[in-house]
Structure 1
Amino acid sequence: MKSILHKWLLRLVQGMLILSMTGCISPLALNRAVLAYDDAITDAISQQLMINIVRARYRQPVHFTGVSNIAATFNFQANAGAMPALGGLAGASILPVFGGSITENPTISIVPIEGEDFTKRLLTPFTQNKLTLLLRQRFDVDMLLRMMAQEVRLLHEARENGAYRNSPAAKNGYEMFRRIVLHLSAIQDHNQLFAEPLPLVNTWTIPAGPVKPEGFLALQKEFTVHHNAQDNTYVLRKQVAGPIVITNYDPDILSEEEREKLQQLVGDWNSSDIAFDIRAGHYGGEWPMTGVFRLRSFHSILGFLGKALGDELGYYVEKDPRTPPILNDENPNLTMEFIVADTSPADADFSIRWNSRYYAVNTTGPHARWNRDAFQLLFLLFQMTVTDIPRVGVPSITIAK
């Protein structure tokens, strides 16, 4: 009886141990695999961004590849047994023996990101909505505009070519551009920078005679309706969102006349332009100005950053005397600083090799945080550019392990 009970208890313990072992191993292996694949994909995108900056520097075609699908199959096996304990009397002492194995069979599909749709997105300038979305993530407006804007136009100032270019090769234009974005950055540091759609009111006048009662009720759902008894007309008013404007004041404080005047000043706005209006009487108003930034495409951003690897290095530009203090005096010479070396940089987050030289983002020194944030911004801009990677129906490379 004791022998039967002993065997039953032994099997119960073995079964519980096997179940607990497989139950613990499978989630652990899955978590590690998911994180490992995620790290690998993130690193691959980061290195592609870096290598395309280098390609742009040497006027080579830029190209991206994406992972469209990862399918990993896990096989968990466990076994258990028993054997006489070493040195014990036969049958008097039992030593349990447990074993297990895990096998992983991943299949990874790699797809080139190309085609007319992606090329259009690559060459189309970013819209003002995307810039303001990033502004609301607390990116520095100085960093955003230095990377995303190709020029600025001041509307109250006569200039032969009409714009100040964000290019170190255009010295006078570049320095004015840098001073303007530094001024906006100082206002942002004081939490007094607004980037909101300009609230506008559209007005229509229609004769009251043809309007039936049911039509009048329908109008009231969409418009503010005012009846003008003098000429028997209805005046319809509807508030609409106008262009996004960067200001040093809340746009809601403007009267309708001031809003209309500002809209006329900005003119027929383009979705890839973003206006700004800095007024006296508010923080940063010591340098009042109104103008428009013209945004770049992602392809143009890669070209701009690539030029920093050549002869068009950015350089230090002092802020305008009318600009308030800038937080921590942050004013890097370069939009993003790179390391170029004959050996892989030891302290870099990652590096790529191109024609026997290594390239990396400089993540050491006084501007390490700025450079990391700038690369994160570039990463997000790339994600805003690519479409969903097709999973079927396109040529792909499938790697099965």
Structure 2
Amino acid sequence: MFGYSAGASYSHTKNPDFQFIPINNETVAKQILNPVLPDVFFTLYQQGYPIDQLMRIMIERVEAGPVTLVNSPTAGTALSYARFLRACAILREMQRRGYLILEEHTRYESLGAISFDIRENRLNPTSKEFADAGDKGYVLRKEDDHWEIERKRSLPIFVLKKDTPESLIKAKVAAAIKPLTSDTVGAIDRVVDLLNEGIAVQTTVEGFKHAKTQLILRSFDRSMTAVATEQPAFDEFVQHQLAEISIVPPVEKQPILRMMWPNKSIALERPLQTVHYNGKTYEITDPVTSPLENAARWNRDVFRLLVALNSQVTVDISKFQRQVLELLPTQ
């Protein structure tokens, strides 16, 4: 389904085509089942995708000291999910106004020890081997009595724009976020404080924290599963968790992707994609509304983001099967 180019068209099929990625070795399996790399999140954000949609698709939870906000209407508590949605709305408003800055920091991931040409009895790399490693995104580092090869990784950290007074940022965001209660104002203040210290985008496999607050990434498989299954659980959350949903701004009071439209009285835009499967109809579309509304193209924009995420994770899958150490001879 995500092999489809999201343009203005309509398809109707009883036998939809799905793109399957063969998980035929350990390396490819890790690419799909391990947390998505922060580089992918950084790239998509830099391409202009909304931070709230990125978080709702790709982030499993927010860890801020003793507080954990879980991105799920069924896991964790109802209040933590509502606060997660509200945080998404606050960050999106900051992004929209240019207050949210994503800085690219660099870290190095160790891939283990490396040896060189044994026949020449060399203990150190040559200048060519240094250059070859650099060309492929690796670095060679001396550690005690041996050399290690490390992969250069981008570490995205969100910070607040420095040349704008915090009071102005808080006032502008508060004016746009509804419902505006004392608790919402407090939430905006907390987000500003966290951004002053930096909010890092990390995977769960890293052994240390790069900032006080972390956005913990999902795997590609987990992201797709969450998107595909959220709608029924989200609708139930809205119906039964009335106190919690009341603190969520309107733009986030919808599942990350609505594909089923049982209310036939709602006028819908022309779908990007329609699938009839197992007696049900799934459509990528939005209710007809003013194009100036913030969420006028919510579902179609999310679908395009999913297409982009799919491309980032699965494009040229063969290169993930390359042996890392091929560039440096070991014998």
Task: Tell me the TM-score normalized by structure 2.
Answer: 0.53
Paired residue type of 1:174: Y
The correspondence for 1:177, drawn from 84, 87, 111, is 84
> Following the alignment from structure 2 to structure 1, what is the Cα–Cα distance between the partners of residues 261 and 29?
29
In 2 relative to 1, CA 384–369 (structure 1 residues): closer, same or farther, beyond 3 Å? Answer: same
- Residue 272 of structure 2: aligned partner: 349
Aligned positions of 1:218-229 closer than 5 A:
none
Aligned positions of 1:359-374 closer than 5 A:
359-366=282-289, 367-374=295-302
Aligned positions of 1:104-143 closer than 5 A:
113-116=22-25, 117-143=27-53
1:156-208 residue CA offsets vs partner (Å, 9 max, x unmatched): xx35xxx22100123121012112222211211210111113489xxxxxxxx
- Give yes or no for the alignment of 1:244 onto 2:165: no
1:204-250 residue CA offsets vs partner (Å, 9 max, x unmatched): xxxxxxxxxxxxxxxxxxxxxxxxxxxxxxxxxxxx99843101135
Aligned positions of 1:27-46 closer than 5 A:
42=5
In 2 relative to 1, CA 132–293 (structure 1 residues): closer, same or farther, beyond 3 Å? Answer: same
- Give yes or no for the alignment of 1:333 onto 2:254: yes
> Following the alignment from structure 2 to structure 1, what is the Cα–Cα distance between the partners of residues 208 and 297?
27
Which structure has more relative contact order (CA 8 Å, sep 6+)? It is: 2
Aligned positions of 1:304-323 closer than 5 A:
304-313=226-235, 315=238, 317=245
- Give yes or no for the alignment of 1:167 onto 2:72: yes
> Following the alignment from structure 2 to structure 1, what is the Cα–Cα distance between the partners of residues 257 and 89?
16
Deviation at 1:124, TM superposition (A): 1.7
Question: Aligned to 2:273, what secondary structure does the other structure show?
Answer: coil
> Following the alignment from structure 1 to structure 2, what is the Cα–Cα distance between the partners of residues 369 and 262?
33
- Residue 192 of structure 1: aligned partner: 99
Question: Aligned to 1:359, what secondary structure does the other structure show?
Answer: strand
In 2 relative to 1, CA 376–293 (structure 1 residues): closer, same or farther, beyond 3 Å? Answer: same
The correspondence for 1:151, drawn from 61, 65, 78, is 61
Deviation at 1:358, TM superposition (A): 1.4
Deviation at 1:364, TM superposition (A): 3.1
The structure where strand makes up a greater share of residues is 1
In 2 relative to 1, CA 242–362 (structure 1 residues): closer, same or farther, beyond 3 Å? Answer: closer
In 2 relative to 1, CA 374–241 (structure 1 residues): closer, same or farther, beyond 3 Å? Answer: closer
1:26-54 residue CA offsets vs partner (Å, 9 max, x unmatched): xxxxxxxxxxxxxx9637xx99xxx9xx9
> Following the alignment from structure 2 to structure 1, what is the Cα–Cα distance between the partners of residues 91 and 210?
9
- Residue 12 of structure 1: aligned partner: none
> Following the alignment from structure 1 to structure 2, what is the Cα–Cα distance between the partners of residues 242 and 339?
37
Question: Aligned to 1:125, what secondary structure does the other structure show?
Answer: coil
- Residue 301 of structure 1: aligned partner: 223
Structure 1: any 5+ residue segments left out of the alignment?
A: 1-39, 55-61, 66-111, 201-239, 252-260, 278-289, 321-325, 391-401
In 2 relative to 1, CA 359–373 (structure 1 residues): closer, same or farther, beyond 3 Å? Answer: same
In 2 relative to 1, CA 198–385 (structure 1 residues): closer, same or farther, beyond 3 Å? Answer: closer
In 2 relative to 1, CA 41–144 (structure 1 residues): closer, same or farther, beyond 3 Å? Answer: closer
In 2 relative to 1, CA 140–195 (structure 1 residues): closer, same or farther, beyond 3 Å? Answer: same
Alpha carbons 2:203, 2:218 under 8 Å: kept: no
> Following the alignment from structure 1 to structure 2, what is the Cα–Cα distance between the partners of residues 242 and 358?
40
Aligned positions of 1:33-72 closer than 5 A:
42=5, 64-65=19-20
> Following the alignment from structure 2 to structure 1, what is the Cα–Cα distance between the partners of residues 269 and 104?
46
Aligned residues: 218
Alpha carbons 2:45, 2:51 under 8 Å: kept: yes
Deviation at 1:293, TM superposition (A): 0.7
Alpha carbons 1:153, 1:292 under 8 Å: kept: yes
Alpha carbons 2:37, 2:203 under 8 Å: kept: no
In 2 relative to 1, CA 262–187 (structure 1 residues): closer, same or farther, beyond 3 Å? Answer: closer
Question: Aligned to 2:233, what secondary structure does the other structure show?
Answer: coil
In 2 relative to 1, CA 128–347 (structure 1 residues): closer, same or farther, beyond 3 Å? Answer: same
Deviation at 1:142, TM superposition (A): 0.9
